């Protein structure tokens, strides 16, 4: 347990490649149950920041600072020390569900896998997987299908069910809807927001879409060229911040979906 520490504590996180700094001195906390969006333009360092939180940076990354996840230091930790955190503490919802779902294994078995690893019997795990798939608003029988038999949006919901199966305290979702059309995006964000809220799970949602951030999260972190530009409630950050990088995000999002940001400008 964290004993008063936030679930996630990031201090002065700095990441570089071959001497070029791409994330520079980023510090923030995520409390248990808090839903936080990490926004920024392409190349601002969102993905690298989240990979650092999960101990998944590429081997040639130069990293310094501190990332504490439920009290465990991630920066510099050995893989064997990070493994117990994956599942019960954090789970990653990838950008493309194709990277987390095995095309050759039925969806239900994949969703049940984290439960089986936690020692749950085959039948109860299968029943729980079906419940999770239904909670993600997937049609009955989805568990018996293979990923290729699902639409992109359905696959992402299945990946979400799989991430939730381990009952993580913090769900990390990196642009989970970028591969989907607008209708499917809305559906995935709705189940993501509801599922984390109902479980009291934390969420770190990486997106360049402020409308997605507004519908799913309470707080926003704005990254710009590797630096943390703003951290606060979404509407306050948008209303109070004159930085061109924030304005550019607002304008890009408003062009796509104005209603979500009415009142935030
Ligand atoms: N393996 C790597 N080697 C060298 N540079 C890298 C590597 N991975 C990322 N970078 C650089 O680090 C910077 C931040 O990349 P990152 O992927 O975190 O951005 P991002 O905000 O997630 O962008 P996007 O929204 O396009 O996914 C970019 O300039 C990128 O070119």
pLDDT at 95: 81
Q: What percent of the chain has pLDDT over 70?
A: 92
Q: Where are the alpha helices (H) located in the chain, listed in sequence order?
A: 46-53, 79-82, 107-117, 122-135, 152-165, 182-199, 210-216, 234-240, 244-256
Q: Is the CB of 200 under 6 A from ligand 1?
A: no
Sign of CA dihedral 210, 54, 146, 95: positive
- Give the distance (Å) from ligand 1 centre to CA of residue 223: 12
The answer on pLDDT for 145 being more than 70 is yes
Tell which CATH classification among 3.40.50.1370, 3.50.30.10, 3.40.50.300, 3.40.50.970 matches the domain 1-89+169-265: 3.40.50.300
Burial class (CB in 10 A: 0-12, 13-18, 19+), 228: buried
The answer on pLDDT for 34 being more than 90 is yes
pLDDT at 240: 67
Q: Is the CB of 30 under 6 A from ligand 1?
A: no
Q: Is the CB of 219 under 6 A from ligand 1?
A: no
Residue nearest to atom 30 of ligand 1 (CA): 43
Residue nearest to atom 7 of ligand 1 (CA): 17
What is the mean pLDDT of the segment spanning 163-176? 92
3-state secondary structure of 258: helix
User: 124-137 burial, b for 16+ CB within 10 Å, e for fewer?
Assistant: ebbbbbbebbebbe
Confidence of residue 181 (pLDDT cuts 50, 70, 90): confident
What is the mean pLDDT of the segment spanning 139-162? 94
pLDDT at 253: 66
Q: Which residue has the tokens 């990486």?
A: 206
- Residue-range domain boundaries for the chain: 1-89+169-265, 100-167
pLDDT tens figures, 245-263: 777 777 776 665 544 443 4
- Give the distance (Å) from ligand 1 centre to CA of residue 47: 7
Q: How far apart are CA 118 and CA 177, in angstroms?
A: 28
Residue nearest to atom 25 of ligand 1 (CA): 42
The answer on pLDDT for 73 being more than 90 is yes
Q: Which of 9-18, 39-48, 116-125 has the highest mean pLDDT?
A: 9-18
Q: Which residue has the tokens 């809807």?
A: 177
Confidence of residue 162 (pLDDT cuts 50, 70, 90): very high
Q: Is the CB of 48 under 6 A from ligand 1?
A: yes
The answer on pLDDT for 36 being more than 90 is yes
Pocket test for ligand 1, best of 22, 44, 54 (most atoms within 8 A of CB): 22
Residue 262: beta bridge partners?
Answer: none
Burial class (CB in 10 A: 0-12, 13-18, 19+), 66: middle
- Nearest ligand 1 atom, CA 49: 18
Checking 94-97 for CB contacts under 8 A at 24+ apart, the result is 94/159, 94/174, 94/176, 95/174, 95/175, 95/176, 95/178, 95/179, 96/179, 97/147, 97/152, 97/155, 97/156, 97/158, 97/159, 97/179
């Amino acid at each position: 347990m964290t004993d008063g520490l936030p679930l996630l504590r990031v201090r002065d996180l700095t990441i570089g490649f071959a001497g070029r700094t791409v994330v520079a001195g980023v510090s923030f906390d995520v409390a248990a149950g808090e839903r936080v969006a990490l926004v920024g333009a392409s190349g601002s360092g969102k993905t690298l920041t989240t990979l650092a939180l999960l101990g998944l940076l590429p081997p040639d990354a130069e990293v310094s600072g501190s990332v504490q996840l439920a009290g465990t230091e991630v920066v510099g930790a050995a893989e064997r020390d990070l493994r117990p955190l994956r599942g019960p503490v954090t789970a990653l919802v990838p950008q493309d569900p194709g990277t987390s779902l095995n095309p050759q294994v039925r969806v239900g078995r994949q969703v049940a896998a984290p439960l089986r690893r936690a020692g749950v019997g085959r039948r109860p795990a299968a029943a729980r997987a079906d419940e999770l798939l239904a909670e993600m608003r997937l049609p009955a029988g989805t568990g018996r299908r293979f990923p290729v038999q699902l639409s992109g949006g359905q696959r992402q919901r299945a990946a979400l069910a799989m991430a939730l199966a381990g009952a993580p305290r913090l769900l990390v979702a990196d642009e989970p809807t970028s591969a989907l059309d607008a209708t499917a995006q809305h559906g995935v964000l709705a189940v993501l927001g509801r599922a984390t809220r109902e479980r009291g799970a934390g969420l770190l949602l990486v997106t360049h879409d402020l409308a997605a951030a507004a519908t799913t999260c309470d707080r926003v972190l704005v990254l710009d060229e590797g630096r943390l530009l703003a951290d606060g409630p979404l509407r306050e950050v948008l209303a109070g911040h004159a930085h061109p990088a924030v304005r550019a995000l607002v304008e890009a999002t408003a062009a796509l979906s104005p209603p979500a940001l009415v009142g935030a400008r």
